[in-house]
């Protein structure tokens, strides 16, 4: 394993699309039977904390738009995260 991959795996990934009522972010991934309102947008916790609320909304919006295009048969573009 390379150093870059190790640090990527160890990063604390959170879902910025589904904020909790206390203001924190849930972990990325779901437990069996867990339901969430929005489609997940996962980023490392450090990046999530450094983003403004507008930046988080824009990132989630880009992800939703890419998912809609993917469902229509087009390839999603995640490069703008």
pLDDT at position 76 is 61
β-strand pairing of 42-44 with 13-15: antiparallel
Q: Is the pLDDT of residue 41 over 70?
A: yes
pLDDT at position 67 is 81
State the Cα–Cα distance between residues 1 and 77, nearest whole angstrom: 27
State the Cα–Cα distance between residues 28 and 44, nearest whole angstrom: 9
pLDDT at position 75 is 62
Domain spans of the chain? 12-71
pLDDT at position 43 is 93
pLDDT at position 73 is 64
Mean pLDDT of 20-42: 86
Q: Is the pTM of this model over 0.85?
A: no
């Amino acid at each position: 394993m390379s150093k870059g991959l190790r640090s990527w795996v160890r990063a604390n990934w959170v879902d910025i699309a589904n904020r909790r009522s206390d203001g924190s972010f849930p972990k990325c991934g779901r437990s069996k039977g867990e339901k969430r309102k929005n489609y997940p947008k996962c980023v490392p916790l450090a990046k999530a904390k450094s983003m403004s609320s507008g930046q988080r909304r824009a990132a989630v919006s880009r992800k939703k738009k890419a998912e809609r295009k993917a469902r229509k048969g087009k390839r999603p573009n995640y490069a703008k995260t």
